[in-house]
Amino acid sequence: MSSEKLIENNQLDAMLFFSPENRFWLTDFQSSLGFLFITKSEKHLLVDGRYITEAQKSVGDKLTK
């Protein structure tokens, strides 16, 4: 199920994911620290400085609709 469907089906404005497993499931990017914030129209992956370059390469435009 997509993150958009999760938000829609549960009548939410946004969701915040902080577990590494959930972030990986939704982005295919693996990191030990970070957050994934998803609204109805945007997705934001927040990672610490060790992962910024790799996250940009790996995830890039996948987070935007």
- CATH class of segment(s) 3-63: alpha beta
Average the pLDDT over 14-39 and give the result. 92
d(CA 39, CA 45) in angstroms, rounded, equals: 12
Is the model's pLDDT at 65 over the cut of 50? Answer: no
DSSP at 3: H
Work out the mean pLDDT of the chain and round it to a whole number.
86
Q: CA torsion, points 33, 31, 56, 65, in degrees to nearest 10?
A: -90
Does the pLDDT value for residue 64 go beyond 60?
no
- pLDDT band at residue 62, thresholds of 50, 70 and 90? low
Calculate mean pLDDT across residues 3-7. 83
